[in-house]
Chain A
Amino acid sequence: MKGKTAGNKQPTKGPTKKRAATKAKTKLWELRLYVAGQTPKSLAAFANLKGICEAHVPGCYTIEVIDLLVNPQLAKGDQIIAIPTLVRKLPVPIRKIIGDLSNTERVLVGLDLRPLQ
């Protein structure tokens, strides 16, 4: 799955598109997760991210996983130092979140995702 193919987009087809659009003001969340191999931290980060997105902006997001062991040159573009790093490409401004995304509260603040209700 993830990591094997870098730049692999995993858009979630949303039956709930309409509802999400109203909640997130029709925003599209373009997210990019940088990892270096399938370490426990990376796997945890991906699982956590997916869970949060599903819960808060279902159907309006894309997650691109980039494995730096495969494409080290991509680290430069987004100024990646720490692993794992989640980059919110859209909506602007770009935000960066480092760590395994286990602290949901901070991920929501960092991504500026409004929690439901």
Chain B
Amino acid sequence: MATVRKKAVKQEGLEKCPTGIAGLDEITGGGLPKGRPTLVVGSAGSGKTLLSMEFLINGATKFNEPGVFVAFEETAEELSKNVASLGFDVQALVAKKKLAVDYVYIERSEIEETGEYDLEGLFVRLGHSIKSVGARRVVLDTIEVLFAGLPNPAILRAELRRLFRWLKTMGVTAVITGERGEHSLTRYGLEEYVADCVIFLDHRVTDQLSTRRLRVVKYRGSAHGTNEYPFLIDEHGMSILPITSMGLAHEASMEKVPTGIPRLDKMFDGGGYYRGSSVLVSGTAGTGKTSLAAFFADAACRGGKRCLYFAFEESQSQLMRNMRSIGLDLAKWTRKGLLMVHSSRPEVQGLERHLVEMHKLIREFKPQAVVVDPITNLVKIGGQLEVTSMLTRLIDYLKSEKITSLSTSLVTDARAAEAAAGVSSLMDTWIALQDIESNGERNRGIMIMKSRGMGHSNQVREFNLTDRGIMIADAYLGPSGIVTGSARAAHEIQEEAALIEQKNELDRKKRELERRRKVMQAKIEELKAGFETDKEELERLAGEGKEKESARAAQRGVMARMRMAD
């Protein structure tokens, strides 16, 4: 049988046994080595038992591989109660003969050693359990108890070596848990015997916040992710952050999603954000970041898409109430199941845990839009480097899933580029909100700092929160920069007055011209009249001359007749 397996290995590589644990199969490239023992090492409370239990339960329920759990630390009842809180029903699986739990109890004080012995009893028990359910998977949790319970470690070591060899010949995939040691990997050097695959679990506390991490230390005959991966234990078991979310291989979409504010859409070349892009809204306190984010969420829901809103500052009801004041009813979307608000304080857990939790929620809710409000609160609980790395992973994940994300960032100086938690380079679109203080007033301005792959307005606009939503107004350019608020209103009035003035002036000029035209007309009439008079006079004179001539001619005839001239 062993030779057959070896041949198979040569031909098709190492066979893997899927764990069914979210993320772990991705890291190990398919699961644990099939038919071989794997060592899971970790300090107390790092999740060893849980990982191995989930491995067995998934085997029994998802992969039709029954399992045996040999518990050295907890009784079967304790164990099933403990994992019941994580949604596992051990009792039912035991009843269905899919799982066998064997509690091995050893108490040093009750045992006297009186000569040579071996661990055949354990072999027999294990063999019996395996046979009773037809097990393909075995967990020994944690076999190191034997070192404390039994005298003569020399015999024990020899027997353990024999046990692991025996497990291999049985062809079962085994998980052996071990306590983390001071100088070696495990306290009793179990890695000497189980060396095919070693998984290291860690539970680290930094700044009073704990983060669980998992690392595959070695995996004989297989490539594997070598980094430390954060993982989470919650009411659904264990989930590890998958590595497939890392990278820059996502496809870019040409589709646009509305911003929720028509005027802002216009500023973005007429359509809004690109689908799957990351949007950053930065601004000082009270500039309307959350409102902008809420409008984006509202627009997504209005389009029938799901939106996941991570609120790190406000509770769900507070957010709803506040948004109602600007004419936004978000509650109806939550009722329809389109909007999910996840409120939590960043301080309650470590950064990595947040990341894993966000991943989990995104995986479950499958939103097309995600809002993180604000990302800067996360900086409080982690260093700049950690936050950047976490956000990089989150954004890469969102992009690969074609989810449009909008993150808000609280900044102290609106113009400082590093103010945006050092993540502006990760973002495709950056909208800066700023407050403009002048004339004893504080007004809001909005501008687009950048928007990859689309033309956009370069103008600072005025941004108003009204009970009918967000209004974006044209900004007036005054002698000292842009003019906003009441100054803008005054400016508007002034301009209007000037316009009226100008109109009046024009009217006046027109009337003047009309008058002058009339005067001119009158003068023309007068001249015309004078001319007519002169003309008449001349005509009269000319007529008189003619009459005089004819009269003279007649007179001359009369005279000639009188003289009786020839």
Contact = CB atoms under 8 A, between A and B. Distances in A.
A105 to B, nearest CB: 9
Main secondary structure of the interface of B (DSSP, over half): mixed
Interface string B108-119: 001111111111
B112 A95 contact: yes
Contacts of A107: 112, 114
Contacts of B114: 97-103, 106-107, 110
Interface in B107-152: 110-125, 127-128, 146, 150
Interface in B65-121: 102, 104-106, 110-121
B115 A101 contact: yes
Given A79-B105, A80-B121, A81-B146, A73 B116 contact: no
Contacts of A84: 117
A41 B102 CA distance: 26
A109 interface: yes
B117 A75 contact: no
B125 A80 contact: yes
Interface string A84-117: 1100000000111111111100110110000000
A82 interface: yes
Interface residues of B, number: 24
A84 B119 CA distance: 9
Contacts of B118: 41, 82-83
Given A81-B119, A82-B119, A76 B125 contact: yes
A68 interface: yes
A100 B118 CA distance: 10
A79 B116 CA distance: 19
Contact of A96 (B110, B115, B123, B146): B110
A41 B117 contact: yes
A99 B119 contact: no
B142 to A, nearest CB: 14
A108 to B, nearest CB: 10
Given A79-B106, A95-B110, A85 B115 contact: no
A83 to B, nearest CB: 4
Contacts, number: 98
A79 B122 CA distance: 9
Nearest to B127: A72
B120 A68 contact: yes
Contacts of A34: 121
Contacts of A75: 121, 124-125, 128
A109 B104 CA distance: 25
A10 to B, nearest CB: 20
Residue of A39, A68, A72, A80 contacting most chain B CB atoms (<10 Å): A72
Contact of B113 (A39, A48, A79, A99): A99
Contacts of B120: 36, 39, 68, 82-83
A83 B121 contact: yes
A69 interface: yes
B112 A100 contact: no
Contacts of A39: 120
Contact of A76 (B102, B106, B115): B102
Nearest to A49: B114
Contacts of B116: 41, 99-100, 102
A83 B162 CA distance: 15
Contacts of B112: 95-98, 106-107, 109-110
Given A72-B128, A73-B128, A81 B122 contact: yes
Interface of B: 102, 104-106, 110-125, 127-128, 146, 150
20 contacts: A36-B120, A36-B124, A39-B120, A68-B124, A75-B124, A76-B102, A82-B121, A82-B122, A83-B120, A83-B124, A84-B117, A85-B117, A96-B111, A97-B113, A98-B111, A99-B117, A100-B114, A102-B116, A106-B112, A107-B112
Q: A-B pairs with the 3 shortest C-beta distances?
A: A110-B112, A99-B115, A72-B128
